[in-house]
Amino acid sequence: MRSLAVPFLVLVAFTSAPALASDPAALVKANCSGCHGPGGKGDSDAAVSMKAPQITGESAGTIVAAVKGSSAHQETAEALSDADLKAIAAYLSEQ
């Protein structure tokens, strides 16, 4: 019985991670809004004072490249899976 516990936990861990990618609005709120403002429009007081640009409407590829290539986004890039980052980028590019 104990031998089934580990594969089950691994299965749960891998099946719940993609579920986050299916809620890109929540990912944006948790990972982007603090600097780029609600919805990524760069219009909050924090975004204006930090000179954080609007990220909505950019191409998904541009957003992914900016996050992965910027030292300001290093922690975020390391914390997000590629699937989550792509989900965020696709969502923001459609806004």
Position 8 scores a pLDDT of 41
> How far, CA to CA in Å, does 21 sit from each of 18, 40, 41, 79, 86?
5, 17, 21, 13, 8
Please check the confidence at residue 51 and state whether its pLDDT lies above 60.
Answer: yes
- pTM as predicted: 0.73
What CATH architecture does domain 2-93 belong to?
Orthogonal Bundle (1.10)
pLDDT exceeds 70 at position 32: yes
Lookup result for tokens 């990618």: 21
CB atoms inside a 10 Å sphere around CB 20:
16
Per-residue confidence band for 21, with pLDDT thresholds at 50, 70 and 90: low
